[in-house]
Amino acid sequence: MIKKIFLVVPVFLISFLMISDDNQVHSKISHYPVMVTGMTYSLSNFDDGYYKTGIKSSEPRFIDNKDGTVTDNFTGLMWLKDIQFCGKANAWKEAINICSKLHYAGHNDWRLPSKNELSSLQSITYRLSNTNNKFDTLPKNNPFKNIHPPLSEDEAILLWTSNYIKWHFNPSSSYIEGWRSSLYGNRSFDNFSEDRSTFVWPVRTAVLNKFPEDESEHFEIAKALVEGQGKNLLDSKDYKLKKEAYYKLRFTDNHNGTVTDNRTGLMWVKDIGLTYLPWKEALLYCNKLNYAGKKDWRLPNLKELESIIDYYSEGETILPPPFVWHNPKEHSSGFIYTSTPTPLANMWNIYTINFRVGAISQANCNTYGFIWPVRGYTTQK
């Protein structure tokens, strides 16, 4: 059996949580509601376009700094205006080196974005036909340029993130794969061999405390690990205590079969993997669910589901504690449905997240998938 170990860990825990000798936590979780996906069209009752949950950014969201950089007022992140500024596609390790050595627009703290940071830029807009696939998933009226690969207007540009996974086939054989994400067409997020080439789009933190976590430290631990360092940190008792404390701080077990995420304010069903349905039936099931005294459950949209999964898990699933997945080994290739359709209307494909690895993909709406009900935020038709 292939064993997976997620090595890009949330090192922000180390600085974010201050634990004294008696292991008491002296911090708090910043409230950070989930953004809207951008979906405006409803393919079926109770889907993402039906509810349109999440918060919207104020306008203007992006500021062109006129120096080759763009600041996102919503997240406080600064990006290079030219997505292909770093030139040709590179291997994952080289992508890290490029960002580490970059001095641009008076700044030298550029880095490879984390999956969460790249996802914060991605907006899904429904298209009524697939006769023209030339669309991207960046928000409207953004100032970025060169989203398409050289010599192509039809291919997706894929970008490295600072997240990666190390696969162990046996004690003497292992290899690393980086995680990459697409900004074009049917958005995806998947693992990719570290020696294969993908594009590099540097980012830096321009305004502190706007993004929910300090994602810059993911990049620092990624650098240390590719240089053969950092292993002692991950195995340390102190690190494990801080990680455990973070989860206890972020999630409240309500002891009624639900868990509240104190960061986003959303409430989730604690036990997952018990219900397996086609997409439309999953939407209806959640809408009619009467559980823990609540009747306003729904299927989560893509960004909501992304917000809860643990891309740094070392267990059998991507679920953070205290959530429980039932019989994960019996469904090794299973996925969790979102309420968000892909942009192409006549495909009837729905975004999904693989619960073992975390890859974002898509499935035909008639395919059976697992559901994870959520509630919270003002909903509107």
Instruction: Give per-residue pLDDT as tens, 30-86.
Output: 788 899 998 888 889 999 999 999 998 888 999 999 999 999 999 999 999 999 999
Task: Quote the pLDDT of residue 157.
Answer: 76
Q: Quick one: pLDDT band at residue 104, thresholds 50, 70, 90?
A: very high
Q: For residue 197, is it within any domain?
A: yes
| DSSP code at position 69 | E
Query: Does position 16 have pLDDT exceeding 60, yes or no?
Result: no
Residue-wise pLDDT for 126-144, tens only, equals 555 444 555 567 888 899 9
Q: For residue 380, is it within any domain?
A: no
Residue-wise pLDDT for 175-218, tens only, equals 566 778 877 555 566 666 667 888 999 999 998 777 767 777 77
Q: For residue 131, is it within any domain?
A: yes
Q: String of b and e for 31-68 (b: at least 16 CB within 10 Å)?
A: ebbbbbbbbeebbbebbbbbbbbbeebeeebbeeeeee
Phi (first) and psi of residue 221, to 5 degrees: -70, -30
Task: Quote the pLDDT of residue 205.
Answer: 93
Q: For residue 230, is it within any domain?
A: yes
Q: Quick one: pLDDT band at residue 360, thresholds 50, 70, 90?
A: confident
Task: Quote the pLDDT of residue 231.
Answer: 62
Q: For residue 60, is it within any domain?
A: yes
Q: Quick one: pLDDT band at residue 340, thresholds 50, 70, 90?
A: very high
Task: For residues 209-233, give the mean pLDDT.
Answer: 72
Q: With contact defined as beta carbons under 8 Å apart, do 57 and 74 qualify?
A: yes
Task: For residues 163-167, give the mean pLDDT.
Answer: 67
Task: For residues 113-129, give the mean pLDDT.
Answer: 79
Read off the amino acid at residue 309.
I
Number of domains in the chain: 1
Q: Which residues contact 133 (CB under 8 A, 6 or more apart)?
A: 154, 185, 344
Using left for φ > 0, alpha for ψ between -120 and 50, and beta otherwise, residue 345 falls in alpha
Identify which has the larger pLDDT, 172 or 75.
75
Domain around 101: 3-375
Residue-wise pLDDT for 306-317, tens only, equals 999 877 666 667
Query: Does position 168 have pLDDT exceeding 60, yes or no?
Result: no
For the sheet with 77-80, list strands across it: 62-64, 69-72, 77-80, 203-205
SS3 133: coil
pTM given for the model: 0.85
Residue listed under structure tokens 């669309």: 135
For the sheet with 3-6, list strands across it: 3-6, 158-170, 173-182, 189-193, 360-364, 349-354, 335-341, 369-370, 276-277
Identify which has the larger pLDDT, 71 or 233.
71
Between the alpha carbon of residue 168 and those of residues 129, 165, 260, 331, 354, the distances in Å are 43, 10, 34, 20, 19
Q: With contact defined as beta carbons under 8 Å apart, do 198 and 209 qualify?
A: no
CA angle 149, 107, 122 (to 5 degrees): 40
